[in-house]
Structures are given as structure tokens and as C-alpha cells.
């Protein structure tokens, strides 16, 4: 009997290795696959399409005998968490072996690259433009415009750089893609190289992802003959959050201190080693093979408004059904948290969710009708970012969360900009005054002014995004900032 168990890092952390070893010891073939993304069920065991989880080594005999009803979830593909998804980027998740070229080719792999090779660079870029694909790692800048800027750059030496420095809280889609479908990223980067005329590519991965690094290096080696003459090299970052900002990342790649560069020039004109460089994140490159294989119109048919295609939403924090849920833009935040995520894991009411990492805005339930798309989130005072959703129940102290935002910025600032370097420290000190009950009203006014200064006076996202968590916490949860400490006494 064939038993399928994920070799994803999260599954391994939950004990998948021991579960796989037990089934093997019982004489069954164990196939290690990518993850389905239902993280609350890991280790998830699949036999003939039926799922069982979360499993332990001691459950193996009962599962094989059909005597584990408490673990049985039925056909995995029909599970509501999977059936409600629109999987384009993660179409192979849970279905293929990450480093098997035959599996990849049999599921449509390399089709996009094959078609791109029969097109002109201009036609490739136009396809990406018409698809409506936007950068999946930050503000959602149209990918085709960036690609065309690099394509038209006069310098004959150009680079492709994949930003895999996934440092935001509640984000793991990049890791899952690199570990579960590394050929998809490789193909997307190879298509981008054809489009802009690049000869060399780099994947900048955070050092905390050893499994992803190993998978990527193995996949690139296996695919080298297919993507040639384009070459890809994996580089490992040292853990600085600021290196998730593209110019800081480029400095790090060059062996320099990871700090933001002033713009202009844009990296698309003068980036890595002074050459035109196209920087996109993992999910952006991974969407490209589908766009080229199926056509721009097919991809653009998903989504709403200017937010086209799908977004792999990551559900984490205090949530019952944590995991990866890929959906077309337009589903509301409340549907994602309450229906898909199942509400809080604690069973208490959800009080706030933070979207977009540690520097994203906090949304109260009153804003849960906000559609999950770039424009709607901007209008509501937030940002989609990398689509990580962190859930908090009603026990959370939002003043402490605002302090954490300043504390995080103070620790992770590269130190180049005065508003960011000093403003984060002063913001933390001011929040401490509020927590101690020393004049909440004047302190809140000071914080508002400080956030404006940081927003418009800093060069990079660390300063510019700071107002989102702090000001959203003050705006939507004012009761947590008054009547505290000495004032309450």
C-alpha cells in the first residue's frame, strides 16, 4: 500500500518523519510529497486519496486497519478547505514529489517556458501586462511595467533576483512553494530572463529556511539543462528584516551592509552590481508559468477590479484552521477568518487581525466586510502585503501590540534614516508612558505626529509602514490606550 506524507518543514516539525518511518517499518511504500497546506492536520497521512490527521506513529496500525475514525477527514481533495480554493500557483500542492522532474512535466510543468521560447521578449512582457499580475510581496506594483523597464534598459548585462527573504509574521507561502514546487519558481525566473534578456539569476533566501535552501539547490541542479543558458544561484541572507526591502537585499547580495538605497535610480535601471535588475518575490515568479501556459486572459479572469488572479492567503496566529488558502481576489476578510479559518483556536471571539506582517494594520470585526484586494485594503487604511493574516482573540492588549510595532522597528531599522532610527525608539518610549498611565491624550497626539514624520520622512518600508499597526490600533481600539496604570488608579 502506498502512503503519502509531506516532507514540508512544518510537517516535519509536527513529527512527520517519525510517522513516515513507522509506516515504512510496517512494510508499506511511503512517498514524500509537497504539503496540501492544511497545517492544523499535520502530520497528514494520505492513502488512496483519503486523509488522516493529525497522525502520530502510534496511529499507523489503526489507520491501516480503518479503525481511526477520529483522524479520518475523507477525500482530501473534497475537504471544504481545499474544495473552496482556486489553486493556480499551488495547483501541485499535496499532489507531486518536489524534486521529481517527471511529476512536474506531467502536471503541466515547463509548458509556459516552452511557449515563451517561441515568443519575442516584447510579447512575453505584454502577456504579463495583460494578465494584470502585480507584485505579490508588497504594494502590488504591476509586474509587467517593471519587466518592461528592465527589458528596455540599454545595459547588456542584466539580472533576475528573487526576493525569498520571507520575514513577515504569518507568512509561509514562499517557503511552501520553494519546498513543495521548486521547479515552478525556477521556470518563472527562466521565463523572466527570456523577457528581459538576463543571463544570471539569484534567489535570496533567509537563513531560517534550511529545507527550502536544500530543495532549491537540488531543483536548480536538476533543471539546469532545461533552463540553460540562464543560470540561477541561491544566496543565503543573515536574518536582517530590512533585507526584505529590495534595495537592501541588493546591497546584501553585493556583500555590503543591508541598508536601503535612495531612489532614483530604480533597481530596474541600476540594480545589482550597477546593472538593470528585475526584483520580484517568490509568488510573483511562481505565477508566471501559469500566465504563459494558459494565457493572459485566463489568468485575468480571476479576481476583481485591478487585483487580478489569485492570492495564496496564509492564516496563522490564534486561529482554528491555520494554513495556506489560495483564492481569487475578492473574498472578504471575514470569510477568510471566520468561515475558512474557523475563528479563533481558543474559542473566544476574534477581536483583531493583522494583515501584511508585523508592520501591517490591525482590522477589527467591523471591517471584516473588506474585500481582500489591494485597493479595498488601501481604502481601509491597510495593505495586503504578502497576504499573511495573524488572528488575535479578545484577550489581546492592543496598546501592547502598538508598542511591539515600535519595538520591532527599533530593533530592525537599518539605521540609515533619522525618522526611522530615532522615531521608533521615541515611539516606544511614548507608548511606555501610556502603559504607565502618564497622560494618554498628549502622548497619543505626539504619536500621531511621530507616525506622520516616519511615514513621509523615511526612505524604506520600515518607516513608511510603521503608522499602519500603531495608528490602526489607536483608531480602532482607543479603549486600550486610556485609563491605564497610574491614571486608572
Q: pTM for this one?
A: 0.95
Please report, in tens digits, the pLDDT of each residue of the chain (489 residues total).
Answer: 999 999 999 999 999 999 999 999 999 999 999 999 999 999 999 999 999 999 999 999 999 999 999 999 999 999 999 999 999 999 999 999 999 999 999 999 999 999 999 999 999 999 999 999 999 987 789 999 999 999 999 999 999 999 999 988 899 999 999 999 999 999 999 999 999 999 999 999 999 999 999 999 999 999 999 999 999 999 999 888 889 989 999 999 999 999 889 888 999 999 999 999 999 999 999 999 999 999 999 999 999 999 999 999 999 999 999 999 999 999 999 999 999 999 999 999 999 999 988 888 999 999 999 999 999 999 998 989 899 999 999 999 999 999 999 998 888 888 888 888 888 899 899 999 888 877 677 888 888 888 888 877 776 655 555 678 999 999 999 999 886 654 433
Q: Which cell is 332 given? A: 472578504
| Predicted pLDDT at 486 | 46
129, 302, 474 from 311: Cα distances, Å: 17, 10, 29
| Predicted pLDDT at 332 | 98
- Residue/partner pairs of 454-458 with CB below 8 Å, 24 or more apart: 454/419, 454/420, 454/423, 454/424, 454/427, 457/417, 457/418, 457/419, 457/423, 458/417, 458/419, 458/420, 458/423
Amino acid at each position: 500500500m502506498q502512503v503519502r506524507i509531506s516532507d514540508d518543514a512544518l510537517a516535519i516539525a509536527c513529527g512527520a518523519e517519525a510517522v513516515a518511518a513507522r509506516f515504512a517499518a510496517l512494510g508499506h511504500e511511503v512517498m514524500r510529497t509537497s504539503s496540501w497546506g492544511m497545517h492544523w492536520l499535520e502530520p497528514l497521512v494520505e492513502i488512496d486519496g483519503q486523509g488522516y490527521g493529525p497522525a502520530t506513529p502510534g496511529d499507523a496500525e489503526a489507520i491501516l486497519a480503518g479503525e481511526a475514525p477520529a483522524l479520518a477527514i475523507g477525500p482530501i481533495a473534497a475537504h471544504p478547505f481545499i474544495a473552496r480554493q482556486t489553486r493556480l500557483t499551488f495547483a501541485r500542492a499535496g499532489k507531486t514529489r518536489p524534486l521529481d522532474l517527471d511529476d512536474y512535466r506531467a502536471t503541466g510543468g515547463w509548458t509556459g517556458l516552452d511557449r515563451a521560447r517561441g515568443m519575442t521578449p516584447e510579447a512575453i512582457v505584454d502577456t504579463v501586462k495583460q494578465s494584470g499580475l502585480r507584485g505579490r510581496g508588497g504594494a502590488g506594483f504591476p509586474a509587467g511595467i517593471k519587466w518592461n523597464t528592465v527589458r528596455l534598459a540599454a545595459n547588456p548585462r542584466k539580472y533576475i533576483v528573487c526576493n525569498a527573504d520571507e520575514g513577515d509574521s504569518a507568512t509561509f507561502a514562499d517557503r511552501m512553494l520553494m519546498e513543495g514546487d521548486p521547479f515552478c519558481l525556477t521556470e518563472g525566473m527562466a521565463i523572466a530572463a527570456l523577457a528581459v534578456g538576463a543571463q544570471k539569476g539569484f534567489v535570496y533566501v533567509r537563513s531560517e529556511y534550511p529545507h527550502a535552501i536544500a530543495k532549491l539547490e537540488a531543483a536548480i541542479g536538476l533543471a539546469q539543462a532545461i533552463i540553460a543558458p540562464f543560470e540561477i544561484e541561491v544566496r543565503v541572507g543573515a536574518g536582517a528584516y530590512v533585507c526584505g526591502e529590495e534595495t537592501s537585499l541588493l546591497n546584501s547580495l553585493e556583500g555590503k551592509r543591508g541598508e536601503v538605497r535612495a531612489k532614483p535610480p530604480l533597481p530596474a535601471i541600476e540594480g545589482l552590481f550597477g546593472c538593470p535588475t528585475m526584483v520580484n518575490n517568490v509568488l510573483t515568479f511562481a505565477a508566471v508559468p501559469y500566465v504563459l501556459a494558459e494565457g493572459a486572459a485566463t489568468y485575468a479572469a480571476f479576481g476583481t477590479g485591478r487585483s487580478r488572479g489569485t492570492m495564496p492567503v496564509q492564516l496563522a496566529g490564534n486561529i482554528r484552521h491555520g494554513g495556506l488558502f489560495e483564492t481569487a481576489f475578492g473574498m472578504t476578510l471575514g470569510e477568510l477568518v471566520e468561515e475558512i479559518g474557523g475563528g479563533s483556536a481558543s474559542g473566544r471571539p476574534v477581536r483583531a487581525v493583522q494583515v501584511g506582517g508585523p508592520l501591517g494594520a490591525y482590522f477589527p470585526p467591523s471591517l471584516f466586510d473588506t474585500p481582500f484586494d489591494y485597493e479595498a485594503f488601501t481604502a481601509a487604511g491597510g495593505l495586503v502585503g504578502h497576504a499573511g493574516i495573524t488572528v488575535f482573540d479578545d484577550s489581546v492588549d492592543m496598546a501592547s501590540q502598538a508598542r511591539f510595532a515600535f519595538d520591532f522597528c527599533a530593533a530592525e531599522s537599518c539605521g540609515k534614516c533619522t525618522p526611522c532610527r530615532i522615531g521608533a525608539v521615541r515611539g516606544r518610549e511614548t507608548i511606555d508612558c501610556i502603559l504607565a498611565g502618564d497622560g494618554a491624550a498628549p502622548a497619543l497626539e505626539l504619536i500621531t505626529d511621530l507616525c506622520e514624520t516616519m511615514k513621509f520622512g523615511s526612505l524604506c518600508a520600515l518607516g513608511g509602514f510603521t503608522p499602519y499597526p500603531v495608528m490602526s490600533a489607536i483608531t480602532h481600539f482607543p479603549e486600550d490606550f486610556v485609563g491605564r496604570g497610574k491614571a486608572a488608579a
